[in-house]
């Protein structure tokens, strides 16, 4: 793949180009303070070329050294022994050390994040943690399911009772309204009957008075 020096590559693409694991590239990007877009590190093409060159140098050095020497050799060892290394090799070793320091910081951050996540499971003073065998847990789960079923039945019965109670209340309210209606009708009819009776009595009195006056004028009242 042709590498464009000014082009930005994602960690995934960079890993494919350089054959360097994505986690290692992430450590290098953190150590070198690479550019980020949407929280993801990017590599310039020129950086990838430098990484490939460093990797080739490292592979060449490893091929020319014994396993024991590879295990014990470090930047400090190179300085103390006076072994001559090229500038590119030196820069590569510095980058590796910087990347390892970045990985250490990432590990600290991961550890802190893990501690924060686990803190939500801390047991409070008013809480307790109990251990169950598989048989005990199975029995507990069965009883819990039974409780949920019973609770659902109680809720359903309560809803049914509430519906019946509402229906009875509606019937009582209707009967009360009808009773009030008939009561008002009875009161109205009673008042009407009383009014008619008063009119009849008044009419009878008027007739009696007229009859008395007429009888008096004819002298019937002296008989």
Domain range list for the chain: 8-119, 134-222
DSSP E strands in the chain: the ranges are 8-10, 36-37, 40-44
Summary mean pLDDT of the chain: 78
What was the pLDDT predicted at 194? 85
DSSP code string of 78-113: HHHHT----HHHHHHHHHHHHHHHHHHHHHHHHHHH
| pLDDT band for position 42 (cuts 50, 70, 90) | very high
Angle between helices 45-63 and 11-18 (to 10 degrees): 40
> How buried is residue 45: exposed, middle or buried, by Cβ count under 10 Å (0-12/13-18/19+)?
middle
- What residues have CB less than 8 Å from 102, skipping those under 6 apart? 27, 28, 30, 31
Asked if pLDDT for residue 97 goes beyond 50, the answer is yes
Greater model confidence, 95 or 222:
95
Q: Against a cut of 0.75, is the pTM above it?
A: no
């Amino acid at each position: 793949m042709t590498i464009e020096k000014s082009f930005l590559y994602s960690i995934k693409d960079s890993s494919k180009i350089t054959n360097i694991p994505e986690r290692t590239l992430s450590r290098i990007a953190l150590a070198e303070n690479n550019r980020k877009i949407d929280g993801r590190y990017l590599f310039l093409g020129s950086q990838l070329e430098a990484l490939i060159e460093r990797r080739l140098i490292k592979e060449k050095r490893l091929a020319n050294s014994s396993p024991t020497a590879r295990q014990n050799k470090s930047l400090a060892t190179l300085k103390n022994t006076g072994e001559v290394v090229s500038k590119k090799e030196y820069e590569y070793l510095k980058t590796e050390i910087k990347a390892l320091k970045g990985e250490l910081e990432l590990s600290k951050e991961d550890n802190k994040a893990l501690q924060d996540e686990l803190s939500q499971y801390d047991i409070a003073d008013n809480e307790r943690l109990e251990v169950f065998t598989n048989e005990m847990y199975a029995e507990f789960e069965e009883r819990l399911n039974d409780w949920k079923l019973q609770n659902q039945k109680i809720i359903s019965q309560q809803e049914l009772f509430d519906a019946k109670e509402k229906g009875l209340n509606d019937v009582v309210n209707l009967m009360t309204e009808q009773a009030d209606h008939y009561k008002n009708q009875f009161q109205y009819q009673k008042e009407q009957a009383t009014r008619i009776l008063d009119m009849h009595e008044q009419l009878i009195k008027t007739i009696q008075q007229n009859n008395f006056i007429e009888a008096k004028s004819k002298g019937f009242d002296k008989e």
